[in-house]
Structure 1
Amino acid sequence: MDDKDFLAERFEENRAHLRAVAYRMLGSLSEAEDAVQEAWIKLSRSNADEVGNLGGWLTTVVGRVCLDMLRSRTHRRESPLESTRVPDPIVGSAEGDPEHESVQADSVGLALLVVLETLPPAERLAFVLHDMFAVPFDDIAPIVGRTPAAARQLASRARRRVRGQTPEPEADRAKQRAVVEAFLSASREGDFEALLRVLDPDVVLRADVGAGKLGVSQVVRGARAVAEQALRFRDFAHAGRLVSVNGGIGIVNVPEGRPLSVAGLTIADGRIIEMDILADPDRLARLDFEFLED
């Protein structure tokens, strides 16, 4: 094995970790892959023999790449509708493929990713790297161009915002499933009162249809408004199938076998408190829905 092959092998040992870092930073599966690939390019052009901790070095490289991507994304924003952007979900079978569930066990909830989308880039990086991956502030500081103490403050501000906006979800998948099935049943039957019983009074629905597509990205708040929305799309409820979305029970609508939308649901105290729906055809087309085959 030559030096290049050995270096590639060591990189592959870190790929899953790097992809997890990039996904939490960017909320985009395709951009996360791009960031990981950029890290490989930088590694292949560097003097790897001088790198003592390759995993740590690659993590900071991916962090720096993601920070640049987030800043570029922020500069491109032209509309407040960007606030309704729903991150790419990690979708899989809800029926328990052991290999898939081992991957899902470490996935981050979609509700948390939605909150991370609202953080300034530097705060997001400091929070993700330190709180999720235990990267020391001494290593984070050079990436954000701050002192370690200032980097700590960035993470602290992000932590307060995350704790204040991220609901504590139901961890029991069986209980999640019962609530989601009740929601689907009420939607299919057009039962408005049953929908109200399964929705938290302050439920929030976010729908991301993509830029320039038919329809409007929107945020809907309150049980009655969300129930009315569910009844408006009652016909699609019959095509709803239970799936695992970022480790929780969600719904994919697949009329005629083609994914039309995927919804991540956050459940607490027996009710749905948050619904994050991705209906952007371009982004849906990049997701892997092979598991939907019977």
Structure 2
Amino acid sequence: MTSALEAFQKHRSSLFALAYRMLGSKQDAEDILQDAFLKFQSVSIDSLESSQAYLITLVSRQCIDALRRARYREGYEGPWLPEPLVEETVLQACPSELTHRYQQVSQGVLWMMEALSPTQRAVLVLRDVLDLPYERIADIVEKSIDNCRQIYRRACQKMELSTGERSSTLAVNQYWMEQLLSALVNADTQALLKLLHEDASLVSDGGGKAVALSKPLHGRDCILTFLAGLQHYYRDDEVHFRTANINNEPGILIYVNREPVTTCTLIRQGEQIRHLLMVRNPDKLRTARREMV
């Protein structure tokens, strides 16, 4: 007879895929999974038609509840960005039961999903990541099948202002990141001027625990001024940049005095950078600290 632990471990990877995309936080996803396992232990496995279906429903509803609780990030100080997974190849947690869309976990996509309601986010993730039919999704979110189809369409439309951005996010390659890295390392203002879109934005997440922007910066000139200010701010420190795998795509890891202090990822629009996403909250850099140079 299969134990609760064995049944849970069998599906843990797909459950983490679901929870991380719903919440944008590795720690919050792990907490949800821990709570789900405790609840799962009290259930008779033999009475379940499918352990996997039960667990996906349980985790999905817990994530929706977490997002609804005062939109649990409302008290967060400054802009909020998803927790980056640095050099923690997400594919290690990718069982064959998941589709190739599992890889679509870039910070850019997760950040843009913040525009969605909890239910929209759940429907989008369940459909796009776990490839569930609308009949199953309807049961999980407790909506009609037709309603779920509409929710999915509206979720896609909400991110439509980002349709080009959403698809290009997944196309960020090593070349682009190396161009940005070279410009930052060499303080090359002219190179940055060419790389950044005129209406580019820079979002910096310090969570009140690290020096960061209190609100996003908008406009190429403002960003260039800010980056120049950073060079002055760290003039007496040893600053080191390197490319890193962040959420399954190339990113930049910034060290100050050999301590990782910032991750940087980007969203392209056409041939320029539209958004720079910089995570500085030390609570979100746990995976980065494992990669210290």
* TM-score, structure 1 normalization: 0.84
Taking a change above 3 Å as real, the CA distance of residues 238 and 288 of structure 1, as seen in their structure-2 partners, is: closer
Partner of residue 195, structure 1: 192
Partner of residue 263, structure 1: 264
1:161 CA drift (Å)? 1.3
Q: Which among 60, 85, 92 is matched to residue 90 of structure 1?
A: 85
Give the superposed CA RMSD.
Answer: 2.6
Report whether the alignment pairs 1:279 with 2:258: no
Contact 2:106 2:170 in 1 (8 A): no
| CA–CA separation in structure 1 for the residues paired with 2:169 and 2:104 | 15
| CA–CA separation in structure 1 for the residues paired with 2:34 and 2:115 | 26
SS of 1:225's partner is helix
Q: Note the residue ranges of structure 1 that are not aligned, 5 or more in a row.
A: 94-99
Partner of residue 99, structure 2: none
1:91 CA drift (Å)? 1.0
Taking a change above 3 Å as real, the CA distance of residues 85 and 75 of structure 1, as seen in their structure-2 partners, is: closer
Single out whichever of 182-191 and 248-257 deviates more from structure 2: 182-191
Partner of residue 37, structure 1: 34
Contact 1:11 1:40 in 2 (8 A): yes
Partner of residue 177, structure 1: 174
Contact 2:259 2:292 in 1 (8 A): no
| CA–CA separation in structure 1 for the residues paired with 2:214 and 2:73 | 18
Q: Which amino acid aligns with 1:50?
A: S
Contact 1:210 1:217 in 2 (8 A): no
SS of 1:190's partner is coil
| CA–CA separation in structure 2 for the residues paired with 1:22 and 1:170 | 21
Contact 2:198 2:219 in 1 (8 A): yes
1:191 CA drift (Å)? 2.7
Report whether the alignment pairs 1:219 with 2:216: yes
Aligned pairs, number: 279
Contact 2:25 2:83 in 1 (8 A): yes
- Deviation per CA, 1:195-248: give whole Å up to 9, x if none: 101112232211111046544332122222222222221265942111111122
Q: Which amino acid aligns with 1:169?
A: S
Identity percentage of aligned residues: 27
- Deviation per CA, 1:15-72: give whole Å up to 9, x if none: 1110000001000100101111122112111121121222222111110110111111
Contact 2:108 2:169 in 1 (8 A): no
Bigger proportion of residues as helix: 1
Taking a change above 3 Å as real, the CA distance of residues 171 and 77 of structure 1, as seen in their structure-2 partners, is: closer
Q: Which amino acid aligns with 2:123?
A: A
Partner of residue 97, structure 1: none
SS of 1:91's partner is coil
Partner of residue 129, structure 2: 132
Partner of residue 72, structure 1: 69
- Deviation per CA, 1:229-280: give whole Å up to 9, x if none: 2222126594211111112211111112211111112345443222111111
Partner of residue 289, structure 1: 289
Q: Note the residue ranges of structure 2 that are not aligned, 5 or more in a row.
A: 95-101
Partner of residue 96, structure 1: none
| CA–CA separation in structure 2 for the residues paired with 1:218 and 1:287 | 25
SS of 2:115's partner is coil
| CA–CA separation in structure 1 for the residues paired with 2:170 and 2:210 | 35
1:90 CA drift (Å)? 1.4
| CA–CA separation in structure 1 for the residues paired with 2:37 and 2:13 | 13
